[in-house]
Amino acid sequence: MLLAIDTSAGTSVAIVDRDRGILAERSEVDTMRHAEVIGGMIQAVLDESAVARAELSGVVAGMGPGPFTGLRVGIAAARTFALALGRPLVPIVSHDAIAFAHFAAEAAGVAGARTAPLLVVTDARRREVYWSAYSGVDELGLPVRLDGPGLAKPDALPALALDAFDAFDGAFERLDAAEISAGALGMVAELSFAAGRPFTADEPLYLRSPDVTPSNGPKRVTR
Amino acid sequence: MSSPSHTTPSHTTPSHTTPSHTPLNRTDPLVLGIETSCDETGIGIVRGTTLLANVIASSMDEHARYGGVVPEVAARAHLEEMSPAIHAALAEAGIRLDEIDAVSVTSGPGLAGALMVGVGAAKALAIALDKPIYAVNHLVGHVGADLLATGADGASEPLQYPTIALLVSGGHTSLLLVRDLTGDVELLGETIDDAAGEAFDKVARVLGLPYPGGPHIDRLAAAGNPKAIRFPRGLTLPKDMAKHRYDFSFSGLKTAVARWVEKAQDAGEEVPVADVAASFREAVVDVLLGKAIAACADYGVPRLLLGGGVVANARVRELAAERTAAAGIELRIPPLSLCTDNGAMIAALGAQLIMAGNEPSSLDFGADSTLPVTEIQVR
């Protein structure tokens, strides 16, 4: 069983089990309250699932892509929770959770869902978006990422997608997501772990440099 | 923090948010403190008033090329330093994480994005360990640091209250009246523009010195004449003293230094860097100590505590010793490792709150970049 935390958009926390699926999940769409809500949400999923801390075999962190400030709250929490348990941190690309949930809904025959290559798009603020391109799912039901995650101006997306989905004659479905499910994130981790798949690096995916330029020395105060 | 009621009904309200199921050790609590309000990732561990570990990872070098602390750079560094610093502090203290009684964390004031890293990490740590969490005030933590300086070796008597506290750093210049560390702290005054440490950085830049400016100005000033140039003392004129008796202003001083240097340069003269550094430093330190001593006199409090990174400045310590001695005021200066931002002072304040019987904070607190000093613990 795993505790999963994602703060790349809003805040989402879940306890998942490979066989039983999502045991408890809490989500908050507000993108300005990560630090406030994360503690109560972790406590809530532990209480609701009645899973003992010692039963957790790792802690999943959504590594983004996500705007800086909020993204760090979840990664910091996941890392220290893992440290306290003496269990591994499992880093997962947050977009993979969006794609996983989408393809799982298709597989379950949810009305309106259909199988097609998928372009996941999330808000990067400052009039930019984060994107990842998926061809579909593999034999485990895990999303197959063709390209990304990347950062782009919205008008550059069609050309980027055409390139990424070249093998599919440029045909794809676009999914703009405002929420990431920690439950889906956790299931991606469970399935990857069981299959011995490698995880992404334990590095936050800011995809942007700090917004600052080196000083050019003092400015004159006398005109 | 809500002021304690003197008309408490006979029943006490149980805390609904205390995660711990075992009674809290309130006599000698083992507390891990997390501090991330600026550019120092501080993890401290204390047992009561005994310092066990004080690990500080600074991102100062990364800020040097920008000439000041860049909030985003600082926050990124906190995230990367957090786990290594916790491991290092546990090793230094020689304890296991599951032995601690509580987690204490800076909720504010400070840089919002930086504070949030510590808050997120601290909450997860407390819940993972099933221990209570105390969200505390950074500035009051600086005052609490003094407890650790005396607690370990018993070299001097514990600090008596009330005391005046002068906290001077790159982010703060505050004068506090501390009647009770865990219950009654009043802000007498603070800077209305730049912090004193910021003024040192900006003047250093004018003089072509690297960041951070304090140590470089201090070194140059040692060879200069502090009376060579009479730079302005901000908010010390009678009209200012009426409204801003305990407030500080260093922006005008910084500009005055820049004008003086530019005038010399424009005239083709060589800038007497040592004299400028010494005269500037004297102007800052004169105002800091002048107002602090005035507060001691006005409130009849014969004790002054210094805190914050600018305490590293030799002239601050020297003039503080001179003036407090002349005025019959007891001077307290914790070791420098406890004056700069650190997690040990946050752990120490958390331990004091526990020993004072305070209930833990709820899990819902956030990062408050402007947290007032009156809010010693965020509930």
- With CA atoms as reference, report the closest residue to A183 among A25, A7, A33: A25
Sort out which chain A residues have CB atoms less than 8 A from B68's CB and list them: 215
Per residue in B128-158, pLDDT (tens digit) is 999 999 999 999 999 999 999 764 455 567 8
Q: Would you tell me how many other CB atoms lie within 10 Å of the CB of residue B263?
A: 12
Close Cβ partners of B104 (under 8 Å, ≥ 6 residues apart):
B31, B32, B33, B34, B122, B133, B134, B135, B136, B346, B347, B349, B350, B351, B353
Nearest to B76 among A35, A210, A215 (CB): A210
Element (H, E) at A61: strand A58-62
In a domain, A204, yes or no: no
Q: What is the mean pLDDT of residues B320-342?
A: 95
Sign of CA dihedral B295, B297, B301, B306: positive
Exposure b/e, B90-128, CB count within 10 A at least 16 = b:
bebbebebeebbbbbbbbbbbbbbbbbbbbbbbbbbbbb
Structural domains in chain A (count)? 1
Range list of H helices, B168-272:
196-206, 213-221, 238-243, 251-266
Q: Would you tell me how many other CB atoms lie within 10 Å of the CB of residue B15?
A: 14
For an interface test with A, the pick among B97, B119, B123 (most A C-beta atoms closer than 10 Å) comes out as B123
Dihedral angle computed from the Cα positions of residues B94, B99, B101 and B102, in that order, rounded to the nearest 10 degrees = 70
pLDDT at B156: 61
Q: Give the chain B residue nearest A56 (alpha carbons).
A: B128
In a domain, A78, yes or no: yes
In a domain, A55, yes or no: yes
Q: What average pLDDT is seen over chain B?
A: 92
Per residue in B23-37, pLDDT (tens digit) is 899 999 999 999 999
In a domain, A34, yes or no: yes
The structure's pTM equals: 0.93
A69 touches chain B (CB under 8 A): yes
Q: How far apart are CA B264 and CA B283, in angstroms?
A: 20
Per residue in B291-311, pLDDT (tens digit) is 999 999 999 999 999 999 999
B34 close to B345: Cβ distance less than 8 angstroms: no
- With CA atoms as reference, report the closest residue to B166 among B285, B66, B280, B44: B285
Question: SS3 of A132, please?
Answer: strand
In a domain, A76, yes or no: yes
B127 touches chain A (CB under 8 A): yes
* Residue B28: exposure state from Cβ atoms within 10 A (0-12, 13-18, ≥19): middle
pLDDT at A116: 85
pLDDT at position B17 over 50: no
Sort out which chain B residues have CB atoms less than 8 A from A220's CB and list them: 258, 262
Size of chain B, expressed as the number of residues it contains: 379
Q: Give the chain A residue nearest B36 (alpha carbons).
A: A76
pLDDT at A110: 67
B78 touches chain A (CB under 8 A): yes
Q: How far apart are CA A32 and CA A217, in angstroms?
A: 35
Q: Can you read off the two tokens belonging to residue B25?
A: 């050790």
pLDDT at position B12 over 60: no
Per residue in B171-213, pLDDT (tens digit) is 999 999 999 999 999 999 999 999 999 999 999 999 999 999 9
Per residue in A179-210, pLDDT (tens digit) is 999 999 999 999 999 999 999 999 999 999 98
Beta strands in B154-222 (DSSP E): 163-168, 173-180, 184-190
Per residue in A100-130, pLDDT (tens digit) is 999 998 777 666 555 689 999 999 999 999 9
B349 close to B123: Cβ distance less than 8 angstroms: no
B86 close to B43: Cβ distance less than 8 angstroms: yes
Q: How far apart are CA A61 and CA A8, in angstroms?
A: 10
Close Cβ partners of B66 (under 8 Å, ≥ 6 residues apart):
A212, A213, A214, A215, B73, B211
Q: What average pLDDT is seen over chain A?
A: 93
Question: SS3 of B116, please?
Answer: helix
Q: How far apart are CA B68 and CA B66, in angstroms?
A: 6
For an interface test with A, the pick among B96, B115, B117, B127 (most A C-beta atoms closer than 10 Å) comes out as B127
Range list of H helices, chain B:
60-64, 71-93, 112-129, 138-151, 196-206, 213-221, 238-243, 251-266, 273-299, 314-327, 336-339, 343-355
In a domain, A214, yes or no: no
In a domain, A202, yes or no: no
Q: How far apart are CA B6 and CA B252, in angstroms?
A: 46
Question: Domain with A86 in it: what CATH number?
Answer: 3.30.420.40
* Residue range of the domain that includes A170: 2-194
Place of tokens 């833990």: B360
| Angstroms from B116 CA to nearest CA on chain A | 6
In a domain, A213, yes or no: no
Close Cβ partners of B21 (under 8 Å, ≥ 6 residues apart):
B130
